Structure 1
Amino acid sequence: MRADKLNFKRNLLLIIIFLILLSVSLIVALGLGHNLIKKYVESEFYSLKIDVLEETMEPYETFFQQAIPEVSYYQGYLDSLSASNYADSVLEKYPFVDHMIFYDSYISDRGITHGITIRNLGIGIKNIYRFGRNLPPDSTVIYQRKKPGELSLKNSDEFNNIGLKVASFIESADTTKNFSNETIFKVFYNITSNRISYLNVPRREEIALFQDLMNSKTEKAPEYEMDLFSFELNPYKLRIANKHQNIYQKTTIRELSYDPILEHTNILQTSIPLSGAFSDYKLYFSTDKNYLQGEVNRRFLPLAFGVFFIYFIIIFITFLIYRNFSISRKLFKLQYDFVNNLTHEFKTPVSVIKIAGNNIKSAQKLSLEEQRHYGKILDEEADKLNDLMNKLLSFTQIENKTIKVKQEEINPEIFSQNIIDGYQLKYPDYEIELDIKKNVKTFLSDPVLLTSIYQNLIENAYKYSKPGTKYLKITISRSRKNIVFSFKDKGIGISPAEMDNIFKKFYRIESEYNQQGSIGLGLAFCKELINLMKGDITVKSKEKTGSEFKVELPYIKK
C-alpha cells in the first residue's frame, strides 16, 4: 500500500474517533446541562417565593406606613364627615381593608360614661362609626354619647385595649424627649389577627397636660380630642403578585395551620408566612413538575443551541481538516501520476532517439532511404518533446500571467480548415466536418492560443473514440456578443462522476484510452487559455454516445 493511502486511512480513522468522542461529549454535556438547569429551577421554586411575598405585601406595607399615620394629621379633630372621607379613600385604594371603625374619643378628668379611668384621668368615647363597602346607612353609627343605650363590650373592647396602653404610657412618659418610632409602635398601635388599631399620636406638650390631669383634678378641665381607627382586614383580598408565573403554577393564601395532604407525588409545594396583621396566614405555592418542565426546557434551549453551535463549528473545522487531507492526498496522487506520466512521456521519445542514434552510430554505411527514415524518427520524437515542453512552459506562463493576448484578424473557415487538413493527413481514418453559420465572419483573436485550443480538443476527440467512430463536427456560430465553437464527437463519453474534474490540472480519466500516457494537462490547459481570452468552456456528454465541448469567446470585429 502506498504511503499516502496509509496516512490518509490513519488520519481518517483519527477523525472518525474524534467525531465519536465529540458526539459522546455533546450528549453528556446536554444531559449535564439539562440536569443542572432542572435543579436550578427547582431551587428557584423554593427561593423566589420571597419575591412574591414582597410584591404581594407591598400594598399592605404602604397602607401601614402611609395611610394609617394620616390619622395623626388631624390632631384628634376628625368628625363624622372627614372620617367618612378618609375611610372612603382607604377603602377605595386598599381592597383588603374590609371595614373601619372610628372611635371619636376624648381625654378629660371629668366623669367618663364609657371608657377607662386611671386616677383622675379618663379616656372616653363620644361616638363610634363603622365604615365599609355596601353598608346600609343606619349601620354607620354604632354609638352616640348623647343618645341613651349601653355600649357593647364587642365594640368597646378594642378601644379599651389601646386606651390602657396609652394611659400607662402617659403615667410614665418622659416629655423632655421625643418619642421614638419603637415607642409609638408599641403604644399607639394595636396589631392583632386581621386587625390594626391606631390612636393619633399627641404632642409632647399634650402628654405633659395629660400627666397633670392624671395627678391633680381641676374644676374646669377641658376635653382633649382623640381619634382612634380600627381597621378590619381580610387577607384573602390581598392581590397575589405572582411575578414568577413560569415557576409557580398556583399561588393561594391559606391559614397558617393549613397542612395539605399530597395526593400526587408529582406536585412541588412550599409556603411562606405573611407578616403583620396577616401573621396567621401564609402564601402557599404548588406546581406540577410537568409544568415546571416547560420552564426547564425554555432555559435549556439557549444552552442546547450554544452547545450545538460550538459542536457544528468543531464539525465544520473537522470537515475542513478532512477536506485538507483529501485535497493533499489528491494533490499527492496527481503529482505522483504527473511525475510518472511525465517520465514516461519523456522516456519514450528519448529512448527512440537513443536507439536511432545508436543505430546511426553503429552502422558502417547508411543508405539515403535509411538516412531519411532515421531523420524522420528523430524529427518526430524531437517534436513530441518540444510540444510537451512548450505546453508545460505555456501553462506556467498562463498561471504567472506573463502571456499577453494578441488581437489579429482571423477568417474562421480558412483558420479551421488548415488545422483540419493537418489532422486528416496525420490520421487518415479521422473524419472532421466543419459547419460555419452565415452570421459568422472574420473576428479578432489570438491565432496561436486559438490553435492550441483547437489542437487539444481535436486530439482528445480522436484519442477517446473507438475505431470506426473517429468523427468530429466543428460548428462555428454567433450567440449575442460571443462567437461559439462547438466540438461534437462520437467518442466514449464522460461519466457524470468525472464531469467536475476533467478541467483540473494533472487529472486523468482512468480508462483503456489513457494507457498510452497522459499527464492530464490538455483540458486544464484549454480552460486556462480560454479564461485568459475572457471566454468560457462547457461540456455535455453521455457515456458511449459522445461529448460536445463548447467554447465561447468575445466576438470582436476589426
Structure 2
Amino acid sequence: MKAPKNIYRKNFTLITASMVLITVSFVIGVIISYNLTAKYVENEFSSKKVEVLDQTSKPYNDFFQLKIPEITSYQGFLDSASAANYSATVFKMYPFVSRILFYDLQIGSKPTNFTFTNNRGISVKAIYQYKFKRGKVRGIRDMAFVNEDDFKHMALKLNHFITVADTTRLPTQDEIFRTFYDVNPDKISYMNIPRREDVKIYQSLLRKSESKAFYKQNMMTFLLDANKLKVKNTHPELYQQVTIQPVVYDPLDVDGGKKITEAALTGAFSNFKLYFSSSKEHLNREIDRRFLPIGAIVLLIYVFMVMITWLIYRNLNINLKIFKLQYDFINNFTHEFKTPVSVIKIAGSNLKGDAELSERQRRHYGKILDEEADKLNDLMNKLLSFTQLENRSITIHREAINLKEFAQGYIDTFKIKYPDFKLSYNIEGIELFNSDPVLLGSIFQNLMENAYKYSHPGKKELHIDIKQERRNVVLKFADKGIGMAKAEQGDVFKKFYRIENQYNQNGSVGLGLAFCKELVNFMDGDIAVASKINEGSTFTVTLPLDK
C-alpha cells in the first residue's frame, strides 16, 4: 500500500504569494505613514507660529498690562527725578522702549497750551525726554513741545471723561482703556487714572467761574522700536529663521526651496509681523526624525507578520510530518495485524481439516496460535498505550487553601465586576482545605456568574456558606434569583440544556452547570440543586476532605 505521491507536496507558490502580499503591504504602509507625517509637520508649520508669537509678544504684553499702569500709583506726583527712576526700570526690563516723554501737568489754572470749553484747562508745566545711553538714563527738559498733538488728544479724552464720569462707581476696564491709553504704531501714551475723589474735584472746577486751586496730573508717552523686540523661537525644529519685518514686507526673490508663513504683531507693533521661513531640507530632517519611530513600528509589524507566516508554514510542515507518521503508523500496524491473522487463519484451517494430525503437529499448531495471539495482544496494548498518550488526562495539584482568603478574593473580584451584586459568606468549622485552587476556583466562578445572571435586577444577592460535615467540605451557594421548576432541576447539569426564559435568550449554551458537575465528579465530589420559582436556588457542592 503506497501513499499518493502528491499528498505531502508543499505549495511554495502560496507561501511566495503571502510573502509578496505582506511586503507590498509593508511598502504601502511606509509610504502612507511617511506622507501622513509630512502632512502633520506641514500643518504644525502653519499652526505653531501662534506659540512663537505669544512668547515673543509676552514682554510687550507684560509691559502694557503691568508696567505702564504703575504710573497711576504715583497719583500725579511724579517729578523729573522719580520719572527718571521709573524710566530706568522700564529701559532695563523692556529693551524695545527707545524713548520716554514725561509730561508734568496741572489742572485748574488758566491754561497756557490747551483749554476746556469753560475756560478751565490742563496746562503743561514741563516735558522731559529720557533715553538710555551707555548704561545710564539721560533726561533733558524739552519745552519745544514737539508732541503737542499727543497731549491735546489725551487732554480731550480726559475732559470728556471728567464731564460724563459717574463718581458713584469705579470706571470699567473699557472706559479706562478708551480714556487713559492712546495706542499708535510704535507709540503708547498713558495718563494716570484719577481717583473718584479727584474726579469730583475736577468736576467742581468746571462748574466754578473762579478758582486758584491747581492739581497735578502725569502723562507719559513711550516710543517703541519693534526691531529690539526679542524673537523667542520655541519651535526651532519647524522654523529655521524667525524675523521681525514690516507688514508690507514681501520679498520678490523668495527662493522656491523655502517654505514661509507669517503672523501679525498686535498693539503698538501692529505695523510689524513675524516672518517665518524654513528650507525644505530643514523640514525634511524634522519629518525624518518624527517618522523614524513610526517606521520602526511598521517594520516591527512587518517582521511580526513574516514571523507568523513562517510559523504557519512550519506548523503546516509539522502537520504534514505528523500526518505522514500517522499514515505510516496505520500502514505498518495494518501490516503487523495482517501477518499474525494470516498465520492464525492457516493454523486454524489445518486444525479443522479432515486429515488426522499427530500429537507433535497439534502441539506445533497450538504453539503457533499461542504465539500469534500474544503478538496480537501485544499490538493491542501498544495501540491502547498510544491512545492514552494522545489523550492526556488532567492532574490534580493539591495545596493548602485558606478558605476565608479564597472566598474573599472571589467576592472582591465580583464586587468590582458587578457593583450591584450583594455578596456575603460564612465559614464554620474549617480553615484550611487541601484541593486544587484552579479547579475549585472554576466552581466558584461558574456558580457565582450563574447566580448573578439568573437574578432579577435589584435582587442580585448571593450567600456562600462553607462548613465541614464529617469527612467532607460542603459549599452552599444560595441566591435569590428566578429559581426553576422542580421538573427541570434534574436536567440543568446536562450538556446544552437551557431553561427557556428571558435570561437565556442570548449568551448561554447550557455548558456552565454541566462543566461544574464534570469538575466536581473529577474531584470525587457531588453537586445538587434545590430551587423554587421566584424565590431562588441553592447549589450544594460536597467535596471530600483530604487532610
CA deviation after TM superposition for structure 1 residue 257, in Å: 1.2
Structure 1 residues 169, 369: CA separation in 2 closer, same or farther (over 3 Å shift)?
closer
| Alignment-mate amino acid for residue 98 of structure 2 | D
CA deviation after TM superposition for structure 1 residue 21, in Å: 3.0
Name the residue aligned to 1:122.
121
1:302-350, Cα deviation, whole Å (9 max, x unpaired): 4334444444444444444434433332222111110101111222343
Matched, 1:267 2:265: no
1:228-283, Cα deviation, whole Å (9 max, x unpaired): 11112222222323222222221111111111234431211010110000001001
The RMSD of aligned alpha carbons is 3.6
Q: How many Å separate the matches in 2 of 1:158 and 1:121?
A: 19
Greater CA deviation, 176-185 or 273-282?
176-185
Q: How many Å separate the matches in 1 of 2:320 and 2:331?
A: 16
Q: How many Å separate the matches in 2 of 1:79 and 1:401?
A: 103
Q: How many Å separate the matches in 2 of 1:202 and 1:290?
A: 58
Name the residue aligned to 2:140.
141
Aligned pairs (5 A) from 1:80-479: 80-110=80-110, 112=112, 115-119=113-117, 120-134=119-133, 139-143=138-142, 151-154=143-146, 156-170=148-162, 178-214=170-206, 216-218=208-210, 221-358=212-349, 364=355, 385=376, 388-389=379-380, 391-392=382-383
CA deviation after TM superposition for structure 1 residue 16, in Å: 4.6
Name the residue aligned to 2:79.
79
CA contact (8 A) 2:162 2:199 kept: yes
CA contact (8 A) 1:26 1:311 kept: yes
Q: SS at 2:277's partner residue?
A: strand
CA contact (8 A) 1:103 1:227 kept: yes
Q: How many Å separate the matches in 2 of 1:380 and 1:30?
A: 72
Bigger-Rg structure (1/2):
1
CA contact (8 A) 1:121 1:210 kept: no
CA deviation after TM superposition for structure 1 residue 39, in Å: 1.6
| Alignment-mate amino acid for residue 318 of structure 2 | I
Structure 1 residues 104, 355: CA separation in 2 closer, same or farther (over 3 Å shift)?
same
Q: SS at 1:140's partner residue?
A: strand
Q: How many Å separate the matches in 2 of 1:68 and 1:382?
A: 116
Calculate percent identity across the aligned residue pairs.
46
Structure 1 residues 311, 190: CA separation in 2 closer, same or farther (over 3 Å shift)?
same
Structure 1 residues 142, 255: CA separation in 2 closer, same or farther (over 3 Å shift)?
same
1:55-114, Cα deviation, whole Å (9 max, x unpaired): 2212211211111111111110112332233222222222322232222221232353xx
Q: SS at 1:106's partner residue?
A: strand
CA deviation after TM superposition for structure 1 residue 153, in Å: 3.9
Q: How many Å separate the matches in 2 of 1:292 and 1:133?
A: 41
CA contact (8 A) 1:4 1:329 kept: no
Matched, 1:58 2:58: yes
Structure 1 residues 13, 187: CA separation in 2 closer, same or farther (over 3 Å shift)?
same
Q: SS at 1:283's partner residue?
A: strand
CA contact (8 A) 1:109 1:217 kept: no
Q: How many Å separate the matches in 1 of 2:298 and 2:123?
A: 76
Q: SS at 1:228's partner residue?
A: strand
CA contact (8 A) 1:267 1:286 kept: yes
Structure 1 residues 138, 294: CA separation in 2 closer, same or farther (over 3 Å shift)?
closer
Q: How many Å separate the matches in 2 of 1:264 and 1:23?
A: 39
Q: How many Å separate the matches in 2 of 1:118 and 1:266?
A: 61
Q: How many Å separate the matches in 1 of 2:85 and 2:138?
A: 17
Task: Flag structure 2 segments of 5+ consecutive residues without an equivalent.
Answer: 394-547
Aligned residues: 391
Greater CA deviation, 99-108 or 390-399?
390-399
Q: How many Å separate the matches in 1 of 2:354 and 2:27?
A: 82
CA deviation after TM superposition for structure 1 residue 26, in Å: 2.9
CA contact (8 A) 1:8 1:325 kept: no
TM-score (norm 1): 0.61
Structure 1 residues 401, 221: CA separation in 2 closer, same or farther (over 3 Å shift)?
closer
| Alignment-mate amino acid for residue 236 of structure 1 | N
CA deviation after TM superposition for structure 1 residue 285, in Å: 0.6
Q: How many Å separate the matches in 1 of 2:61 and 2:166?
A: 30
